[in-house]
Amino acid sequence: MARAFLVVMDSVGIGGAPDAGEFFNGDRPDTGANTLGHIAEACARGDAEEDRSGPLRVPTLDALGLGAALTLASGMTAKGLGAAPDGFWGAAQEVSAGKDTPSGHWELAGLPVPWEWGYFPDTTNSFPPDVLEAAARLAGTDGVLGNEHASGTEIIARLGEAHQQSGWPICYTSADSVFQIAAHEETFGQERLLKLCRDLAPILHERRIGRVIARPFIGTPGAYTRTGNRRDYAIEPPGETLLDAVAEAGREVITIGKIGDIFAGRNTGTVLKGADAALMDHLRDSVATAPDGALVFANFVEFDSLYGHRRDVSGYARHLEWFDAAIVPVLAGLRADDLLILTADHGNDPTWSGTDHTRERVPVLAKGPVSGQGSAKELGVVGFADVGASVAAHLGLEFRGAGESFL
């Protein structure tokens, strides 16, 4: 029985979203943002030379159609991304009114977001008094620190010492629909932080705030470091997703990385976590051991969290090159009737202004059987939801989600 592997390279956008002008980083619209294209251009110019050098080298992804997808999506051609595809490839365009993680993943799983997300628009004094009161009450403190839009690493560096002295949690947000709480794992306590976020989440979800995110850190003043124990408490998807269809058919679901959090734990099966290197090990092991009929759904977040938001072009390029090499044994381990799709959930152009996601099309690169076709096929521009519909069709499932299979 066929198996399916859906792998999200978090934030690896390829430009070209026709509605990019409706989305902003500060006062600047996302028109012209192109995560992959601008990284490749920077590499070719010699502007991404930290711990790597020269043009972007991703031969495995390019052979699957990454460069061709970039040109299809945005019209851009880039040095080092000119291979003739030997997989089937295209670009996907989102309809949900958000450029955030839940919107992208839910729609990839066949569920476009049916509402407008709630946001905190003010850059300072961002949160309503009742939300601040609830956060302090649930934390057992007299108040909170932060109450602003901020970069997570910056606000921890700036307020970490005051947090350790007062015990007050650090609360902040971004342009996404999120409420984030940072706290020291040792002096505040990791389990206490997770409970605080879990208890606060329903209050924020009532306001259509998509996620309450626990951001634990360790260290001392001047040397704070976020840990890998982040946890997202997301709104439960408001309709059927690909995960539901697989589980209801009695098939095994394996979720790797943030997927379990993004889908609020609903039908997320075996949940495997870790840094991206460990997640790649989990993916490779899943290719070797997942049973017939299984869905493996993975998210590799460090493109986004470590390099996109921090506007680190060299780091993003290094991670693309690492991923390109690391995915080789995964592809080699696939069975003849397996389907693997590589895609993304939004953009996060590290050359752009601001620190937030960018509205972009994303690549759709697939290896596996294509009915009536040879080994290479151009898909054109498809919908995010078509990805989930295609996975469901490959697995032979009846699926009531949005989208149409491109198989």
Taking the C-alpha atoms of residue 183 and residue 401, their distance in angstroms, rounded to an integer, is 38
**Residue 346 is labelled as binding a ligand:** yes
pLDDT at 257: 96
pLDDT at 372: 37
Half-sphere exposure of 406 (CA within 13 A, CB side): 24
Tokens of 118: 């709630």
**Residue 105 is labelled as binding a ligand:** no
pLDDT in tens, the chain (407 residues): 999 999 999 999 999 999 999 999 988 999 999 999 999 999 999 999 999 999 999 999 999 999 999 999 999 999 999 999 988 999 999 999 999 999 999 999 999 999 999 999 888 999 999 999 999 999 999 999 999 999 899 999 999 999 999 999 999 999 889 999 999 999 999 999 999 999 999 999 999 999 999 999 999 999 999 998 999 999 999 999 999 999 999 999 999 999 999 999 999 999 999 999 999 999 999 999 999 999 999 999 999 999 999 999 999 999 999 999 999 999 999 999 999 999 999 999 999 999 899 999 999 999 987 533 456 889 999 999 999 999 999 999 999 999 999 98
Taking the C-alpha atoms of residue 239 and residue 243, their distance in angstroms, rounded to an integer, is 11
Q: Which residues, at least 6 apart from 379, have a Cβ–Cβ distance to it below 8 Å?
A: 88, 89, 90, 91, 364, 406
Beta partners for 173? 149
Cβ atoms of 55 and 319 closer than 8 Å: no
pLDDT at 374: 52
Cβ atoms of 298 and 340 closer than 8 Å: no
Taking the C-alpha atoms of residue 166 and residue 176, their distance in angstroms, rounded to an integer, is 28
Half-sphere exposure of 194 (CA within 13 A, CB side): 8
Beta partners for 183? 216
**Residue 10 is labelled as binding a ligand:** yes
DSSP string, 151-195: -HHHHHHHHHHHHHHH-PPEEEE-SSSEEEEEEEIIIIIHHHHHH
pLDDT at 229: 92
Taking the C-alpha atoms of residue 250 and residue 123, their distance in angstroms, rounded to an integer, is 47
pLDDT at 376: 82
Query: How far is CA 389 from each of CA 2, 19, 241, 305, 407, rounded to the nearest angstrom?
Result: 15, 23, 10, 28, 9
Beta partners for 234? 211
**Residue 163 is labelled as binding a ligand:** no
pTM of the model: 0.92
pLDDT at 176: 87
**Residue 244 is labelled as binding a ligand:** no
pLDDT at 370: 56
Residue 364 parent element (H or E): strand 362-367
Burial class of residue 207, CB neighbours in 10 A (0-12, 13-18, 19+): middle
Beta partners for 253? 295
